[in-house]
């Protein structure tokens, strides 16, 4: 095909300017319609339901009673605290493990192409399937982890990791880190490969050590990606449902109940729609506030590191 340079083209395009708007909206309208019906309308409806005592039987307007009950419940605040703690710990670990992983996969050693493929399976397979594998490994009677701990003499007896409150919580975190690490690693690796070689070479010529180059070039250069991945993983971790649900269903005695699990239990398992909806609204508000604050922070980081 020849690329005809037609001087009249811009004008002709301008004549179609009006139809460009219409055309554009026609193109995005199916997507908009989907989102409107499956996300926006349910969201509005969730807000409305949160002011009712809806159950399967029917619903009455109760004003802010659901919220009042929720905020007066010390258990709820425990769950909020636990959720943020869960998010903070899991995200920090994912970023650290992902950064180490990406650095390793970025090293110039034979076999790195294969290693890069081997990182991805936890992301490829359905989360639920991977978690079923972890559930087996955590079990106390013949699970791998308990078995290895005994083998190395670290524990005397079998340990059922999901049966006690503390170990269940941290076991769920380990699994969550496992699920999230491939994506984080992949994005960090891509960012590292995008760092200009000139920077490294200039530092190298000046005799900067590898560690110095990592700290002073790699980290600042990929900082915008680190910060955006932190936000994305924070949202995913906050919203993560399957991992905890399959491992513990929020137990033992609530030790792994995050806001999402609590909402699901109230809304779906016990079908208290109104109370569940109030919890869902709290989640949305918390996430929105958190994200806005974070985007503001991201903006500052980007400016600080001079990214576009």
Partner 1 sequence: MQIDRLSLPQKIGVYVATFFFLLFILMPFIEMIRVSLRPMSHLMTANFTWWSEDFSLQAYRDMWKTVPLLGRYIFNSIFIATSVTALTMVVVIPAAYAYARLEFPFKSLSLGAFLAVNMFTGAVLLIPLYRVLRTLSMLNTYWAIIIPGVAFLIPTGIWLLRSYLEKIPRELEEAAFVDGASRLYTLRRVVIPLAVPGLIVVGTAVFIGAYAQQFLFAITFNNVREIQPLPAGLYEFIGYQDVTWNEMMAAALTGITPVMLVFLFLQKYLVAGLTAGAVKE
Nearer to partner 1, 72 or 124 (CB): 124
In whole angstroms, how close is the CB of 165 to partner 1 at the nearest point? 21
Q: Is 56 in the site for partner 1 (CB under 8 A)?
A: no
Tokens linked to 215: 């700290």
Q: Given candidates 100, 165, 209, 304, which one binds partner 1 under the rule CB under 8 A?
A: 100
Tokens linked to 235: 């949202």
Nearer to partner 1, 7 or 166 (CB): 7
Q: Given candidates 182, 230, 233, 248, which one binds partner 1 under the rule CB under 8 A?
A: 182
Q: Is 186 in the site for partner 1 (CB under 8 A)?
A: yes
Residue 190 CA to residue 225 CA, distance in Å, equals 10
In whole angstroms, how close is the CB of 49 to partner 1 at the nearest point? 6
- What binding mask, one character per residue, do residues 258-287 give for partner 1 by CB under 8 A, x or -? --x--xx--xx----x--xx--x--xx--x
Q: Is 83 in the site for partner 1 (CB under 8 A)?
A: no
Q: Is 178 in the site for partner 1 (CB under 8 A)?
A: yes
CA angle 183–186–189, rounded 5-degree value: 150
- Which of the residues 105 through 164 are near partner 1 (CB under 8 A)? 105, 107-109, 115-130, 132-137, 141-142, 144, 146-148, 150-151
Tokens linked to 51: 């002011």
# of chain residues touching partner 1 (CB under 8 A) = 109
Tokens linked to 205: 């010529």
In whole angstroms, how close is the CB of 235 to partner 1 at the nearest point? 6
C-alpha R_g of the chain? 25
Could you tell me how far CA 223 lies from the centroid of its own chain?
18
Cβ within 8 Å of residue 274, ≥6 positions away: 49, 50, 51, 52, 53, 54, 55, 59, 62, 66
Nearer to partner 1, 19 or 78 (CB): 19
Q: Given candidates 65, 104, 223, 301, which one binds partner 1 under the rule CB under 8 A?
A: 104
State whether residue 47 is helix, strand or coil: helix
CA atoms within 13 A on the CB side of 282: 24
Sign of the alpha-carbon torsion through 259, 261, 267, 271: negative
- Which of the residues 234 through 253 are near partner 1 (CB under 8 A)? 235, 239, 241-242, 246
In whole angstroms, how close is the CB of 242 to partner 1 at the nearest point? 5
Residue 63 CA to residue 116 CA, distance in Å, equals 54
Tokens linked to 220: 């600042």
- What binding mask, one character per residue, do residues 198-217 give for partner 1 by CB under 8 A, x or -? --xx--x-------------
């Amino acid at each position: 095909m020849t690329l005809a340079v037609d001087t009249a083209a811009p004008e002709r395009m301008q004549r179609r300017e009006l139809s460009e708007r219409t055309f554009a909206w026609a193109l995005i309208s199916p997507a908009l319609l989907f989102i409107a019906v499956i996300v926006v309308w349910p969201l509005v409806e969730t807000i409305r339901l949160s002011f009712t005592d809806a159950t399967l039987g029917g619903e009455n307007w109760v004003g802010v009673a659901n919220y009042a009950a929720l905020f007066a419940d010390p258990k709820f605040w425990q769950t909020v605290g636990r959720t943020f703690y869960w998010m903070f710990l899991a995200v920090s670990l994912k970023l650290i493990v992902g950064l180490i992983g990406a650095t390793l996969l970025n090293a110039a050693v034979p076999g790195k192409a294969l290693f890069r493929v081997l990182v991805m399976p936890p992301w490829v397979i359905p989360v639920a399937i991977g978690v079923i594998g972890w559930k087996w490994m955590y079990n106390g009677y013949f699970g791998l982890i308990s078995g290895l701990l005994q083998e190395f003499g670290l524990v005397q007896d079998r340990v059922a990791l999901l049966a006690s409150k503390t170990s269940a919580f941290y076991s769920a975190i380990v699994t969550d880190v496992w699920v999230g690490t491939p994506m984080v690693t992949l994005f960090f690796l891509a960012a590292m490969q995008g760092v200009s070689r000139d920077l490294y070479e200039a530092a190298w010529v000046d005799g900067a050590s590898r560690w110095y180059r990592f700290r002073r070039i790699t980290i600042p250069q990929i900082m915008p990606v680190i910060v955006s991945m932190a936000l994305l993983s924070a949202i995913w971790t906050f919203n993560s449902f399957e991992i905890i649900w399959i491992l513990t269903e929020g137990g033992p005695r609530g030790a792994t109940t995050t806001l999402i699990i609590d909402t699901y239990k109230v809304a779906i398992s016990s079908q208290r729609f109104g109370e569940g909806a109030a919890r869902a609204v709290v989640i949305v508000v918390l996430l929105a506030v958190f994200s806005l604050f974070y985007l503001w922070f991201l903006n500052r980081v980007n400016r600080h590191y001079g990214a576009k």
